Amino acid sequence: MTRAKRQIAIVGGTFDPVHWGHLKPILEVANAFNFECIHLLPTCAPPHRQQPEVLNTHRLGMLDAATELDSRFVVNDWELRQGLPSRTLPTLKHFHTVSADATLYFIIGMDSLLNLPDWQHWQRLFDFAHFIVIPRPGYALADASDDVKDLLAARQCDSADMQTGSGKISIADTQPLDISATELRQQLRNHNERPELLPEPVWNYIREHNLYR
Ligand SMILES: Nc1ncnc2c1ncn2[C@@H]1O[C@H](COP(=O)(O)OP(=O)(O)OP(=O)(O)O)[C@@H](O)[C@H]1O
Ligand SMILES: O=C(O)c1ccc[n+]([C@@H]2O[C@H](COP(=O)([O-])O)[C@@H](O)[C@H]2O)c1
């Protein structure tokens, strides 16, 4: 009898700040799969792009606060420790090496899927992980490029067919949430507090450290 493999989820992001638009769909997906753990992996921003508004220690602090929501959440500072602009291919190779006995799932939003052909060596990402795509208001598959449509035609499948191996894509059936970190930062700057958009422990961290003012 083949033993079921461990299932490990990875969610990369700027997380400036982490919000319910990331966390609620991830938790919904985690219940459909059988994730042993979910790595929340803050990116190291490239110098040519807009830098995160708050220090890396605060992005990590807010993610640490979010781990109170579920014991499967793990904050992973691997990309930050590389000190290089983050690219997903080396990250997935790293996870593949250190968790060789696990099936890996990289979770992205629909906006990221639509941009995937701009990622470095994007076709090789599928050698190391399955991809789970979270629907996001304002981003529709109908607007996908031919590259993305071809990608889905070749790789899209149901979650049940992603227990082992790599290279499949599943579009999650989660409730789309219209929340973005950019808008949240703007609202916080304007003292327009929307507590329903962030988990309470993250709110408490933001207030305690007076962030985004
Ligand atoms: N509301 C959302 N619904 C679905 N996916 C999301 C949502 N918000 C973020 N994501 C996904 O989470 C990952 C990390 O996103 P990120 O940390 O950049 O947050 P963001 O809200 O998109 O930030 P910003 O508004 O500054 O671009 C990306 O793959 C992104 O597509
Ligand atoms: O590998 C790449 O070239 C690449 C290009 C853009 C984004 N990514 C990854 O996509 C994830 C979400 O990125 P972002 O910018 O939406 O926060 C994060 O893990 C990034 O490192 C990766």
Q: What string of pLDDT tens digits covers the 213 residues of the chain?
A: 455 689 999 999 999 999 999 999 999 999 889 999 999 999 998 666 688 999 999 999 999 999 999 999 999 999 999 988 899 999 999 999 999 999 999 999 999 999 999 999 999 999 999 999 999 999 999 999 999 999 999 999 999 899 999 999 999 999 999 999 999 999 999 988 888 999 999 999 999 999 999
Please report whether residue 188 resides in a domain.
no
Please report whether residue 1 resides in a domain.
no
Domain housing 61 = 6-177
Total of domains in the chain: 1
Q: Among the bound ligands, name the one nearest to the CA of residue 46.
A: 2
Please report whether residue 76 resides in a domain.
yes
| Protein residue closest via CA to atom 13 of ligand 1 | 13
Please report whether residue 182 resides in a domain.
no
Query: How far is residue 49 from each of residues 45, 85, 86, 134, 172, measured CA to CA in Å?
Result: 7, 10, 12, 24, 29
| Protein residue closest via CA to atom 10 of ligand 1 | 109
Distance CA 38, CA 35 (A): 7
- From the CA of 177, give the closest atom in ligand 1: 1
Please report whether residue 121 resides in a domain.
yes
| Protein residue closest via CA to atom 23 of ligand 1 | 181
Distance CA 111, CA 135 (A): 8
pTM: 0.96
Distance CA 172, CA 109 (A): 10
Please report whether residue 100 resides in a domain.
yes
Please report whether residue 136 resides in a domain.
yes
Say which CATH number the domain at 38 has: 3.40.50.620
In this structure, the residues whose C-beta lies within 6 A of any atom of ligand 1 are 13-15, 21-22, 25, 108-109, 111-112, 134, 136, 177, 179-182
Task: Give the distance (Å) from ligand 1 centre to CA of residue 34.
Answer: 23
* ipTM exceeding cut-off 0.95 for this assembly: yes
Please report whether residue 194 resides in a domain.
no
